[in-house]
Each structure stands twice: as structure tokens, then as C-alpha cells.
């Protein structure tokens, strides 16, 4: 199984968007058509975004979500991205993600997928100086982790220092993507799960990506 190639969508210092996919990653909706999916990777400076003191020393957060490789062109219109070329895949993916997000899978890649000698959170931090990150423990009160694991589940994840073009966060992403080949076999199971406390599943998000926000 091949580790997906990472493509850069944007990097403006405080926000870095990456995208990774593999032609073998496919999902199907009710129309029976097989469509490719990928991973939208967001590396965000939380201190720059929020100004909150808790993020000052270790501000860099990583989020990875499943998205459709070919989003509906309707997103450009509803987002007001006039002139966006529907054939510009990366720009269309950023446009659609900014409107409706994706199906979060950072916790799945971190905790539920492992390879021999590469397990759990520790495996995702391989090759990173421990001084460059902080392990955060947070009670999941809402959102995808709470919907899937319970509203009192305590989830551990790393935040990183902002240095050398977010090198540690990027290494963390690379380590996570070494596990991502398994997503092709797990996609139906993953999309069946709730992604919010209202009980909406990942299928609802992927349907919106494919057919547009007015579907």
C-alpha cells in the first residue's frame, strides 16, 4: 500500500492547507457511481487565530478530514469565489472545505489504525524532538470525537511549536499519512459514524460535497 503524495494548497505562515489522495481511495453514494476521496490537512496557528493564552507556547494544531476529490462547482457560486475554474481541483477543494468542512479523521488515524512497530499517538510523533510539542488532554464535549466516543471521552493530541516552517507539525502529518492507506478499506465504516451530536453521518457531508450545498 502506497503512502499518498502530499500537495500544498496554501501556506501563508499562520495557516497551511495540504491535500493528499490516492486513485484507489473511492466511495459510493446512492447513485452507484464510484468517486475518489482525499484528505484535507489543516495546519493552523491557533494563537494567531484566537489570541488565547493557552495556545501561546505551542500554537500549531493539525486537523485531517476526508473530502470528495471532485466537489460540486456550486460551491464557487455560494462562496462568492467568482471566476474560480471548476477544473482547478485544489482550489475547488479549498472552496468547498471553507463552506462545509469535511469528515474529521485525525483521531482515527491516531488511535485506531496502526502498523507493526507504529502504534497510537507515540507512533505519530516519530522523528520529532519532544521539546517541540505538547500533549494536550481535552474532554470531548461536542463535535466528532464526542459523537463517536461519548461526550466525556478524554482525547489526547499534540500541539506544536511554530518554528522552521511548521516542520514538526508537517512530520506529524507525514507519520499519520503512513497509516492512511487503510482508509480505502475502511471508508464505508468511517462514513457510517456520526460526525456531530445531532447524529449526522459522514455520508451527509460527502453528499453535500458531491451534489452541492443546495442538494
CA-wise closest residue to 190 among 67, 103, 93, 122: 103
pTM of the complete model? 0.93
pLDDT tens-place string over residues 9-53: 998 878 899 999 999 999 999 898 999 999 999 999 999 999 999
Give the C-alpha separation, 104 to 42, whole Å.
Answer: 11
pLDDT tens-place string over residues 135-160: 999 998 889 999 989 888 999 999 99
Q: Is the pLDDT of residue 84 over 90?
A: no
Give the C-alpha separation, 140 to 91, whole Å.
Answer: 32
* Alpha carbon 138 to chain centroid, angstroms: 18
> CA 188 → CA 20, 66, 123, distances in Å?
19, 12, 25
pLDDT tens-place string over residues 33-42: 999 999 999 9
Give the C-alpha separation, 183 to 100, whole Å.
Answer: 21
What's the rounded mean pLDDT across residues 176-203?
A: 93
Amino acid at each position: 500500500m502506497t503512502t499518498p503524495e502530499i500537495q500544498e494548497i496554501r501556506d501563508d505562515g499562520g495557516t497551511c492547507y495540504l491535500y493528499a489522495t490516492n486513485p484507489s481511495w473511492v466511495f459510493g453514494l446512492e447513485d452507484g457511481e464510484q468517486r475518489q476521496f482525499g484528505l484535507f490537512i489543516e495546519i493552523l496557528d491557533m494563537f494567531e487565530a484566537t489570541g488565547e493564552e493557552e495556545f501561546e507556547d505551542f500554537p500549531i494544531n493539525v486537523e485531517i478530514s476526508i473530502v470528495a476529490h471532485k466537489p460540486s462547482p456550486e460551491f464557487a457560486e455560494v462562496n462568492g469565489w467568482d471566476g474560480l475554474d471548476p477544473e482547478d481541483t485544489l482550489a475547488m477543494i479549498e472552496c468547498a472545505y471553507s463552506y462545509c468542512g469535511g469528515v474529521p479523521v485525525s483521531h482515527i488515524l491516531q488511535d485506531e489504525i496502526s502498523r507493526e512497530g507504529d502504534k497510537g499517538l507515540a507512533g505519530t510523533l516519530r522523528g520529532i524532538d519532544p521539546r517541540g510539542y505538547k500533549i494536550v488532554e481535552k474532554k470531548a464535549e461536542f463535535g466528532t470525537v464526542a459523537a463517536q466516543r461519548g461526550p466525556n471521552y478524554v482525547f489526547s493530541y499534540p500541539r506544536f511549536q511554530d518554528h522552521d516552517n511548521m516542520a514538526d507539525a508537517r512530520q506529524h502529518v507525514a507519520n499519520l499519512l503512513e497509516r492512511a492507506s487503510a482508509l480505502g478499506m475502511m471508508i464505508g465504516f468511517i462514513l457510517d459514524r456520526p460526525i456531530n451530536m445531532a447524529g449526522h453521518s459522514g455520508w451527509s457531508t460527502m453528499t453535500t460535497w458531491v451534489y452541492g450545498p443546495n442538494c
